[in-house]
């Protein structure tokens, strides 16, 4: 007979061995699970870091392409892992990955199409803004033809004088030898300064000057090309001539510089900005005239040099050098420099010597005001006034600037178009007679009672 004690001991030993095996198996499984969890955590963290980096990156075709490639590689790695480990996961994850890849490809295709359409539309097309000249410069460049619709009244004598000087210089350069040119044309021959009270139309004048000078150059080219023997001004008497020569390409570009904004930049930046403008003007590859107009030029040139800061003195010295060297080679360089100021008396003599002409812009006289108001009234249809009222209007605007007169009539046109009422003589008289600080109240008071604006 078998001893029960031995059997019991053997069973206990077997049970203990089985328990140890089970425990070891569970421990191994737990270790595997923990390692898998750690791998998943690491993978999730890496994915998060990668996603954060991707979010910071700008959206581009290259980035989307890399995402698609990475998604495909990830999908292949998972499939390989499934085959080796015998892990039979749901087909749903596989389908989701395919959808993500397809959507990424669709986004790339859409972006390529969008870029193609954008580049196609960015080309110069009929109706495009002519001011938008492609440029890597920090300032705006404007074609002089853009100012054809400007109605400038007054200062016709100054306009004609400057254009005649410029056309004479152009004629000398085109027709005479170097020795003759050196005696007549100087480096500063195309530098001009306009001075006078604010609101007298100096900036508007420069725009009109640029347009009329460009028009004169077109007319000259037309006469040379056609071999027409007529006086220069007689060309405009034939509409077919005007229509043809105005279609010629524009040879004048202009940029507007605010001296205050340039001076307010950091030390060194102002000098770089000024030099960049003059470099642009001097290096005209298409042989165009380039006008630099600097408003409030006294910001650079005013005051005593001994009181100037190091920054201000550096800009002044640079500007002197640029004004002297703007047209070193007058045949190749066609720089026209125009400055405007309200404080001409503050500008030093060393600067005044570098201008070929200084032109005073006073407040408009009686005839200029009458002409200005007459032209402005043409834009107010059905305005009720008499011809003799023009002289009354001109008298009421004595010692008032062109800007103020234009503001009165532009406001009347605006209100008339909005509130649909007829402008009468007393409306115009009230606005022209009032003080500037009472202007807004007078404008509201003269509107019809039924308008909403009157109740403001």
Cβ-count burial of 56 within 10 angstroms (0-12 exposed, 13-18 middle, 19+ buried)? exposed
Q: How are strands ordered across the β-sheet holding 357-360?
A: 142-143, 252-258, 289-295, 335-341, 191-195, 357-360
Q: 339: which strand partners?
A: 193, 294
- Around Cβ 241, how many Cβ atoms within 10 Å? 18
- Specify the 3-state DSSP secondary structure of 283: coil
DSSP state of 302: B
Residues 213, 233: Cα–Cα separation, whole Å: 14
- DSSP-derived secondary structure letter, 248: S
pLDDT the model gives residue 212: 92
How many of the other CB atoms lie within 10 Å of CB of 400?
17
Query: Comparing C-alpha atoms, which of 289, 291, 302 is closest to residue 259?
Result: 302
- Name the DSSP class of 124: -
Residue 159's nearest CA partner among 375, 310, 410, 357 is 357
Sign of the four-CA dihedral 382, 385, 386, 391: negative
Q: What is the model's pTM?
A: 0.63
- Beta-bridged to residue 295, according to DSSP, are 258
Structure tokens at 354: 């570098």
Best CA proximity match to 374, nearest among 400, 353, 405, 332: 405
Q: Which secondary-structure segment (H or E) carries 252?
A: strand 252-258
CA geometry: angle 291, 294, 298, nearest 5 deg: 145
**Angstrom distance (rounded) from CA 330 to CA 189:** 10
What is the SS3 assignment for 250?
coil
169 to 182, 190, 279, 283: CA distances (angstroms): 11, 9, 21, 19
Distance CA(439)–CA(433), nearest Å, equals: 9
Q: Is CATH 3.40.50.2300 the right assignment for the domain spanning 142-360?
A: no
Consecutive 10-residue runs of the chain (456 residues): their mean pLDDT?
55 62 70 65 63 54 66 68 53 70 77 64 37 53 86 82 89 81 76 89 90 91 79 76 85 86 64 81 81 86 62 76 66 83 86 88 87 82 74 86 84 75 77 79 67 41
pLDDT at 206 (0 to 100): 92
Where are the alpha helices (H) located in 246-284, listed in sequence order? 259-263, 269-282
């Amino acid at each position: 007979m078998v001893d029960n004690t031995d059997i019991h001991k053997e069973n206990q030993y077997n049970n203990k061995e089985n328990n140890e095996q089970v425990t070891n198996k569970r421990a191994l499984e737990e270790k595997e699970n923990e390692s898998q969890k750690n791998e998943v955590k690491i993978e999730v963290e890496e994915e998060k870091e990668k996603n954060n980096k991707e979010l910071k990156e700008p959206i581009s075709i290259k980035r989307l392409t890399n995402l698609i490639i990475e998604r495909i590689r990830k999908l292949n790695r998972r499939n390989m892992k499934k085959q080796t480990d015998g892990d039979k996961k749901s087909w749903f994850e596989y389908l989701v990955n395919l959808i993500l890849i397809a959507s990424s490809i669709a986004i790339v295709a859409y972006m390529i199409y969008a870029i193609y359409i954008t580049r196609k539309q960015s080309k110069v097309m009929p109706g495009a803004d002519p001011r938008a000249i492609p440029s890597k410069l920090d300032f705006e460049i404007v074609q002089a033809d853009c100012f054809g619709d400007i109605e400038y009244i007054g200062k016709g004598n100054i306009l004609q004088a400057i254009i005649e000087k410029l056309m004479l210089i152009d004629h000398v350069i085109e027709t005479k030898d170097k020795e003759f040119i050196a005696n007549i044309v100087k480096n500063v021959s195309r530098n001009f300064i306009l001075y006078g009270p604010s609101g007298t139309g100096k900036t508007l004048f420069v725009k009109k000057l640029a347009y009329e000078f460009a028009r004169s150059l077109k007319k000259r080219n037309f006469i040379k090309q056609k071999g027409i023997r007529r006086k220069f001004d007689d060309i405009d008497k034939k509409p077919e001539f005007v229509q043809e020569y105005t279609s010629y390409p524009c040879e004048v570009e202009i940029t507007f510089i605010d001296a205050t904004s340039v001076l307010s930049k950091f030390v060194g930046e102002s000098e770089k900005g000024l030099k960049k403008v003059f470099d642009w003007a001097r290096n005209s590859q298409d042989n165009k005239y380039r006008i630099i107009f600097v408003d409030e030029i006294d910001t650079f040139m005013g005051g005593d040099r001994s009181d100037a800061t190091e920054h201000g003195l550096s800009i002044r010295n640079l500007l002197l050098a640029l004004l002297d060297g703007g047209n070193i080679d007058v045949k190749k360089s066609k720089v026209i420099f125009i400055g405007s100021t309200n404080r001409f008396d503050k500008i030093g003599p060393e600067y005044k010597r570098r201008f070929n002409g200084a032109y005073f812009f006073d407040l408009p006289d009686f005839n200029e005001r009458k002409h200005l108001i007459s032209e402005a009234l043409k834009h107010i249809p059905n305005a009720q006034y008499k011809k003799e009222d023009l002289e009354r209007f001109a008298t009421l605007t004595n010692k008032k600037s062109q800007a103020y007169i234009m503001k009165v009539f532009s406001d009347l046109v605006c209100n008339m178009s909005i509130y649909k009422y007829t402008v009468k003589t007393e409306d115009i008289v009230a606005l022209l007679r009032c003080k500037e600080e009472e202007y807004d109240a007078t404008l509201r008071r003269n509107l019809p009672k039924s308008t909403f604006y009157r109740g403001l």
